[in-house]
Structures are given as structure tokens and as C-alpha cells.
Amino acid sequence: MTEERPMLDVKNLSVRYRGTDTPAVRDVSFTLGRERLGIVGESGSGKSTVGRALLKLLPTAELTADRMRFEEVDLLTAPERKMLELRGQRMSMILQDPKFSLNPIQRCGLQIAEAYRTHVRCSKGEARAKAIEMLSAVQIRDPERVFDLYPHEVSGGMGQRIMIAMMLLADPGLVIADEPTSALDVTVRLKVLRILDGLVREKGIGLIMISHDLSLVRSFCDRVLIMYAGRVVETLAARDLDNARHPYTQGLLAAQPRIGGSRDELPVLERKDSWLEPAEERP
């Protein structure tokens, strides 16, 4: 991480959904520079909630933090008008399943062009050219043809690349990818990840990758936050994942069957209440 001020600075973020007693996210703190940060945990651990809270996409939830700052903007006090400027243009989000995140009755290319025209004043022709350029940047072979396709006419892998194109079009500083490849087949998963990874590096974008897959995060992120029941239980460099100290992280790693691994009984996670205690001070 660079010495300069981090792009994103979050301190003691807590989120409580309306109608529940226990917060979904408790005292989560982290900073992000121009790097790739993974957030990993089981379903219900609050990892997606963190991503949504950063974009303030949780209007009904109660959101508290000591600090939540993105570049010069204080996200805690930013009015909705300011957030509208930020979302899509300076921070954007790639969702899990392209089937549900693209408008089914509008051509893919028009959706990308629309996203561009929302943020940049330009003619329709320029937006179209920009969209086609971006489609080829995500390695879609025949971008002119794909521009005119409807979402149901493209495969899952291509749909996710279209989403990536749409989200990176406005050159955001921060991209939050929420399980970007969980809905994809293993044959296209790596390809999509590499495209995302290539663009993120090339443009120097800060990336937050939310995933339940430790091995994915290990290869595509620099740093990893491990979340359990709304708390960050451990933060480590991705390459040190094998030396994880927290029993939860170790348990998650061990529970994963491996190709060519032994066929002995898989180690099962023994959950302990003590994991819910606040973690010790992190570096």
C-alpha cells in the first residue's frame, strides 16, 4: 500500500437492518488504497452488506461508523444527491448474476451506453462508440453484434463481461465486485476474472472482491478480510493465507475438498462463541 492517504477509509462500521436486534455488520474497519481487497466469509457473515453500505444502498438499515470516507467525500454525511454523483461514476458495483442485473427488455449495448450518458454529456453516437470500445476491452469478439443482443441471447460469461464493461466504462476509482463469478461455469470463470483483473490493474482501480471462495480471493487479491457473523476476525495478505492464525480461517481452508486430495473425512468447522468477541487490534 502506498504512503499517501488511502482511497477508502472505514472505521467501526456497523449496520443493523430494520426489525432485527443484532447488527448484520459490527465494528468493521479497513482502509483501501489502489489495491485489491478480498472480503470472505460464509453466507450471512455480512460481507455483501459491507459492500452495499459503502455505496449507501441500504436506505432502511441503520448505518453507524466513526469514519467512512471515500477520497475527499465523507460517505456518512453525503446527501443522496452526492451519492448519485458517486455511484457508477467514481465507485461502482458488479453484482453476482448477470441474468438478474441486466434489464431483460433492453439491448445490452444500449444499457451500457445509457450508463455512460448518465455520467458524461455526449451524443448517442459517442456513447455507442464508447460502449463498443468497452465491449471489446472485455474481450467480446464481435462487439457490434453483441451491442444489439438482448440479455437472454448472451451466455452467463458474456453477460458478466457486459456487466463489467458497464461498470468500468466511467473509469471509477473503486469497484466493488460482489461474487462476480459465482453464477458462472468453471470454464469461463477464470477468463472473466482475468479480464476484470487486467482492467483493474491497467486502470489502477481499487477493487473490493466479495466472495465465499477463499482460493479465488487468494489468487486475485492482495489483502483479505475474513468475516464471521458480522465481524472481521482476521486480516491478512493473500499470500499468507496458508499461515492464517484464526481457527475460522483455518477451518474454511481445510473444509474445501481438493482435486487429488485424500478421501479422508473432511475436517468440519467447530464454531466457538469466542469468535464473536471483538478481534484484537489489527495492524
Binding site for other proteins (CB under 8 A): 42-43, 156, 185-187, 189-190, 212, 214-216, 218-219, 251-252, 255-261, 263, 265-269
What is the 3 state secondary structure string of the chain? CCCCCCCEEEEEEEEECCCCCCCCEEEEEEEECCCEEEEECCCCCCHHHHHHHHCCCCCCCEEECCEEEECCEECCCCCHHHHHHHECCCEEEECCCHHHHCCCCCCHHHHHHHHHHHHCCCCHHHHHHHHHHHHHHCCCCCHHHHHCCCHHHCCHHHHHHHHHHHHHCCCCCEEEEECCCCCCCHHHHHHHHHHHHHHHHHHCCEEEEEECCHHHHHHHCCEEEEEECCEEEEEEEHHHHHHCCCHHHHHHHHHCCCCCCCCCCCCCCCCCHHHHCCCCCCC
**Least distance between other proteins and beta carbon 19 (Å):** 15
Q: Between 143 and 159, whose beta carbon lies closer to other proteins? A: 159
Q: Between 267 and 278, whose beta carbon lies closer to other proteins? A: 267
Q: Between 45 and 89, whose beta carbon lies closer to other proteins? A: 45
Q: Between 103 and 215, whose beta carbon lies closer to other proteins? A: 215
**Least distance between other proteins and beta carbon 274 (Å):** 17
**Least distance between other proteins and beta carbon 42 (Å):** 4
Q: Between 90 and 212, whose beta carbon lies closer to other proteins? A: 212
**Least distance between other proteins and beta carbon 200 (Å):** 16
**Least distance between other proteins and beta carbon 257 (Å):** 4
**Least distance between other proteins and beta carbon 251 (Å):** 6
Q: Between 51 and 88, whose beta carbon lies closer to other proteins? A: 51
